[in-house]
């Protein structure tokens, strides 16, 4: 009896499954048809994304907008022979108290970057946008994942000479900026990306004049406060024989400290030139000078607050001018608070010179030197650096069009106001795959 009941249950279950299978066929057929229709529609849209005529990229279906994607993947293998400077040769990071010379090795792909650009023609002129990220954001551990967070490099739009968003500062000389394997490049140049509103006016025959209002950021003294954008004007000319750039910067520096409020005017001047000696040899040089120019000279910013020292007013007790606090300030900076509570600006200088040589259609070399020097009071800031120097001997070989190999030997040097110094030699190998 029990076996007969089991047989009947099995027959019923089989019949039910068969009926359900037949009943479900129209549903499956309908779902498959819908899926195929979606695939066909997607294929039609992909077919419509044909290359745009006259410009790089593809047409976005249903619009007049052209989109292009670019970037590269880069591997860096680095040996530091004196001090570990990290993923890039940050000269200000040299430790003058470290007298040992030890070899340090690291490999990373943090310079890898991706960019997206669009171009939309309108009756009022083309509208362009550009977004780029790399992986020099905060990093994870190197034990398992070597994860590195992306960070925004550029994000801006352009229309009829106007630019709004984040990109390189207008106070920067690309005319004399050499190519290096190292991510940082030489000291003594301007190296700032920030939010800004800019208008560029073409003057004809390869020249232009650009004006910008840019994000203000002051550091290095107590109670620093930004109350007005940094204003910059730059003239640029480029031709077959080379190019020149001239720029001027104006800044408002403000302090709200315990000794009172004060403000000062900071400025910077920039001049750079490039001379094509032959079709394969190029000479370039740039110089920056300013009073309160601060972070606009690469590596000259101060990462510490100006504390009070003997002979200055104690921030905690304005009536006591004999505080012996040791200053933590390590960079040149924009300004400092004097004994009378006034905000005093600091003069700084930056210079670089380079020569590049194209040996063949695939192989090129470059030699560059950079220097930064500050004129801050040495008795007030003995632990801040007075000079930074760097040398890069860079070599590039293009294996095929999108693949470039790099080999570079560089030297970094740092000297403090108190006379202490440190240097480092770095060997760097790189492989870059562009797309």
| CATH number of the domain to which 175 belongs | 2.40.160.10
Distance, in Å, from the CA atom of 136 to the CA atom of 261, rounded to the nearest integer, reads: 37
Same domain, 321 and 407: yes
Same domain, 401 and 378: yes
Same domain, 169 and 33: no
What confidence score (pLDDT) does residue 304 get?
Answer: 56
Single pTM value for the model: 0.82
Tens digits of pLDDT across the chain (435 residues): 444 444 444 444 444 444 334 344 444 445 777 777 777 776 666 566 566 666 678 999 889 999 999 999 999 999 999 999 999 999 999 999 988 889 999 999 999 999 999 999 999 999 999 999 999 998 878 888 899 999 999 999 999 999 999 999 999 999 999 999 999 999 999 999 999 999 999 999 999 999 999 999 988 888 888 999 999 999 999 999 999 999 999 999 998 876 668 899 999 999 999 999 999 999 999 999 999 999 999 887 765 554 444 344 444 444 443 343 345 677 888 998 888 888 999 999 999 999 999 999 999 999 999 999 999 888 888 888 899 999 999 999 999 999 999 999 999 999 999 999 999 999 999 999 999
Question: Contact at 8 Å (CB) between 186 and 411?
Answer: no
Residue 174 DSSP code: G
Tokens standing for residue 288: 């920056």
Token pair 């294929």 is at which residue?
43
Same domain, 87 and 11: no
Same domain, 96 and 231: yes
Distance, in Å, from the CA atom of 330 to the CA atom of 305, rounded to the nearest integer, reads: 9
| Cα distance from N-terminal residue to C-terminal residue, the chain | 75
Distance, in Å, from the CA atom of 256 to the CA atom of 105, rounded to the nearest integer, reads: 44
Angle made by CA atoms 424, 425, 431, in degrees to the nearest 5: 130
Specify the 3-state DSSP secondary structure of 417: coil
Tokens standing for residue 19: 């009926």
| Number of domains into which the chain is organized | 2
Distance, in Å, from the CA atom of 412 to the CA atom of 389, rounded to the nearest integer, reads: 6
Residue 54 lies in a domain: no
Same domain, 31 and 100: no
Same domain, 34 and 136: no
Residue 318 lies in a domain: yes
What confidence score (pLDDT) does residue 8 get?
Answer: 43
Residue 398 lies in a domain: yes
Residue 33 lies in a domain: yes
The closest of 208, 175, 207 to 189, measured between CA atoms, is 175
What domain range is 31 assigned to? 1-48
What confidence score (pLDDT) does residue 49 get?
Answer: 59
């Amino acid at each position: 009896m029990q076996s007969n009941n089991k047989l009947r249950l099995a027959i019923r279950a089989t019949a039910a499954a068969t009926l359900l299978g037949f009943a479900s066929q129209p549903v499956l057929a309908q779902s498959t048809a819908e899926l195929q229709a979606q695939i066909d529609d997607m294929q039609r849209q992909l077919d419509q994304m044909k290359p745009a005529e006259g410009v790089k990229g593809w047409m976005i279906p249903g619009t007049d907008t052209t989109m292009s994607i670019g970037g590269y993947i880069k591997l860096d293998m680095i040996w530091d022979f004196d001090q570990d400077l990290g993923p890039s040769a940050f000269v200000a990071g040299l430790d003058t108290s470290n007298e040992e010379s030890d070899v340090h090795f690291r490999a990373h792909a943090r310079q890898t970057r991706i960019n997206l650009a669009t171009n939309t023609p309108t009756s009022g002129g083309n509208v362009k946008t550009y977004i780029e990220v790399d992986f020099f954001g905060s990093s994870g551990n190197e034990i398992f994942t070597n994860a590195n967070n992306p960070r925004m490099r550029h994000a801006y739009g352009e229309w009829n000479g106007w630019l709004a968003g984040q990109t390189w500062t207008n106070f920067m000389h690309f005319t004399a900026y050499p190519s290096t394997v190292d991510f940082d490049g030489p000291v003594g140049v301007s190296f700032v990306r920030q939010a800004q509103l800019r208008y560029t006016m073409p003057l004809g025959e390869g020249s232009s004049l650009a004006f910008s209002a840019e994000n203000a950021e002051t550091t290095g003294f107590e109670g620093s406060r930004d109350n007005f954008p940094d204003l910059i004007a730059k003239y640029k000319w480029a031709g077959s024989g080379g190019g020149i750039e001239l720029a001027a910067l104006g800044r408002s520096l403000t302090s709200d400290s315990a000794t009172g409020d004060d403000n000062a005017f900071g400025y910077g001047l920039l001049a750079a030139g490039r001379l094509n000696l032959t079709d394969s040899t190029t000479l370039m040089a740039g110089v920056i000078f300013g009073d309160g120019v601060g972070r606009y000279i690469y590596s000259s910013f101060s990462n510490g607050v100006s504390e009070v020292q003997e002979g200055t007013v104690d921030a905690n007790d304005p009536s006591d001018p004999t505080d012996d606090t040791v200053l933590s300030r390590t960079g040149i900076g924009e300004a400092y608070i004097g004994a009378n509570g006034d905000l005093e600006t600091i003069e700084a200088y930056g210079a670089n010179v380079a020569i590049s040589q194209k040996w063949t259609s695939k192989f090129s070399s470059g030699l560059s030197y950079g220097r930064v020097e500050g004129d801050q009071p040495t008795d007030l800031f003995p632990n801040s650096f007075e000079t930074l120097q760097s040398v890069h001997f860079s070599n590039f070989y293009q294996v095929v069009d999108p693949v470039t190999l790099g080999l570079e030997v560089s030297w970094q040097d740092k000297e403090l106001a108190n006379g202490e110094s440190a240097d480092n030699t770095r060997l760097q190998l790189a492989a870059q795959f562009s797309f």
